Structure 1
Amino acid sequence: MRNIKLTIEYDGSRYSGWQRLKNSDETIQGKLESVISEMVASPIEIIGSGRTDAGVHAKGQVANFHTKSKIPIREIHKYINYYLPQDIIVKEVTEVPERFHSRYNVKSKKYVYYIWNHWIPSAFDRKYSYHLVEKLDIEFMKEASKKLVGTHDFIGFSSVKKTNKSTIRTINETTIAKEGNMVKFIFIGNGFLYNMVRIIMGSLVEVGLKQKEISYIDDILESKNRSVAGRTLPPQGLFLEEVYY
């Protein structure tokens, strides 16, 4: 049995997220499975490194599937990209050891969120960033974001309901940089809860607008209460940039 690893880029604008849904075929996983199953003439299940929500994009999503097919790697790569919609591209196809698992073997992930911070919107970046008119205090946000680094219970920054699973995660690095009108927020960590990055962003924006103090991040972490945190920012500014193994 062969184990095939895919590195995938997609524009999530018109999709209902990564995960296959019974009532919709407009998912990234669903599109990939449909094309690959047709190619190998057998039902295929794709295992993703994790889920991205509706409207979220990816530049480096990773997935794998098992197959008995003997089709060469280059032919697999060409076939998949030929039949996929143009807003989903497989960047790399490799054969990996059978025990490789795209989700269980993840060491860390890199997410990036973009904010277009100007009173005039961008015609080109509107699908790939959140437009915020009010000017942000970047230095204030940098100081607040440092409080996220380390191992914490991030339940207050998540839309997760009651769960028996651990909500403790480690953020290794946060970076905030402004290039022209675009502000780029980078988060690297060993895992992220449901809506975690978008809620962190909503909270950091409140700090950046001077509506909250830098200590607001501490308050949310200590409260472990979603209602204390800021709002969930829209999905179009969020990218799964890279998955590390």
Structure 2
Amino acid sequence: MPRYALKVDYHGAGFAGWQRQKEHPSVQGAIEAALAKLEPGEHTIAAAGRTDAGVHGLAQVAHCDLVKDWDPFRLSEALNFHLRTQRVAIVDCAAVDDDFHARFSARERRYLFRLIARRAPLTHDRGLAWQVKRQLDVTAMQAGADRLIGRHDFTTFRSSICQADSPVRTLDELRVEEHRREYEVEYRFHVRARSFLHNQVRSFVGTLERVGAGSMTPDDMTRALEARDRAACGPVCPPEGLYLAGVGYPKDPFTG
């Protein structure tokens, strides 16, 4: 059966997350339903990461197996036709070898978190960023973020319901950018690792926001990490500012 890699862009609002659920809409369910319109029957796709409810995708990667030998461009166009009422789009498609797996072949995941500081309510970015009222100290946040780089036990920064066998992960990048505009300041957190724990990125950002606000110091980030205790974590920020921004593979399936 021919296998295809799909690059998926989606707005997380209105979905109960990526993973298929019986009683709630999901991104996976929407794509599988579209595939069933092209080739009747049940379809199961696998993705590089299972994003939570409200989290967005800029470049999620999934793969599917089909009976027909599709031209990748025509497959993406056909899927987008059936997804036209959903906030989901296939932005790229490629034929891949049978041993390609969207999840297990991945070597890194990249996330973006958007935080906007402004007094007035968000309009254009409502549902697409986390809003706080006061500007933050980006230098302090980066100093705190630097304490997390490397291989650590991240128990403090994972959800209590996380099902990962081990809390040990290697964090390759946690970079904070500041973008000033006339009425607001946007802080973008760029996070990169091979794999993540449940709520790890949102826990990072929620705690770093406290550093930026002056309620915590960069040294407190070190103490929180070393505590290996969920109680030492700052507040977990809301999901609407989080985006799965990219997935890295030994060979990019979309550039061949």
Smaller-chain TM-score bracket: over 0.9
Cα distance, 1:6 vs. partner? 0.2
Tell me if the contact between 1:160 and 1:193 (Cα under 8 Å) persists in the aligned partners. Answer: no
Matched to 2:22, the amino acid is: K
Distance of 1:166 and 1:98 partners within structure 2:
29
Matched, 1:213 2:217: yes
1:46, distance to aligned residue in structure 2 (A): 0.6
> Which residues of structure 1 form unaligned runs of 5+?
none
What is the CA distance between 1:164 and its match in structure 2?
6.6
Q: Deviations over 1:75-131 (max 9, x none)?
A: 211110011034101010101000101001111111111111122232111211111
Structure 1 CA distance for aligned equivalents of residues 235 and 162 of structure 2: 19
The separation in 1 between residues aligned to 2:114 and 2:193, in whole angstroms, is 18
User: Aligned equivalents of 1:4 and 1:35: distance in 2?
Assistant: 15
Change over 3 Å in CA distance of 1:162–1:42 after alignment to 2: closer
| 2:190 alignment partner, one of 166, 186, 190 | 186
Matched letter for residue 30 of structure 1: G
Q: CA deviation at 1:42?
A: 2.5
Q: Which amino acid aligns with 1:161?
A: I
Deviation at 1:169, TM superposition (A): 1.1
Residue of 204, 208, 216 corresponding to 1:204:
208
* Residue 48 in structure 1 maps to residue 47 in structure 2: yes
Partner of 2:149: 149
Counterpart residue identity of residue 73, structure 2: R
The 5-angstrom pairing of residues 4-83 of structure 1 reads: 4-24=4-24, 26-83=25-82
Pairwise mapping of residues 71-150 of structure 1 onto structure 2 (< 5 A)?
71-84=70-83, 85-150=85-150
> Which runs of at least 4 in structure 1 moved beyond 3 Å after TM superposition?
160-164
Letter in structure 1 aligned against 2:195: G
What is the Cα deviation at residue 224 of structure 1? 1.3
TM-score by length of 2: 0.92
- Shift of the alpha carbon at 1:189? 0.9
1:219 maps to amino acid:
R
Partner Cα separation in structure 2 for residue 148 and residue 37 of structure 1: 44
In structure 1, distance between residues paired with 2:99 and 2:36: 21
SS at match of 2:116: strand
Secondary structure at 1:13 match in 2:
coil
Deviations 1:13-40 (A, max 9, x none): 111100001222x100000011102211
Distance 1:41 1:49 in 2: 25
Match of 1:215, SS state, is helix
Q: What stretches of structure 2 of length at least 5 have no aligned partner?
A: 250-256
- Bigger CA drift: 139-148 or 160-169? 160-169
Partner of 2:172: 172
SS in 1 for 2:222: helix
Q: Distance in 2 between matches of 1:164 and 1:115?
A: 27
1:36/1:170 CA distance change after superposition, 3 Å: same
The range that moved more, 224-233 or 63-72, is 63-72
Counterpart amino acid of residue 67 in structure 2: K
Which letter does structure 1 place at the counterpart of 2:214? K
In structure 1, what residue type is equivalent to 2:59?
A: G
Number of corresponding residues: 244
Percent of aligned pairs with the same amino acid:
29
1:161 is displaced (CA, Å) by 3.3
- Greater CA drift, 163-172 or 114-123: 163-172
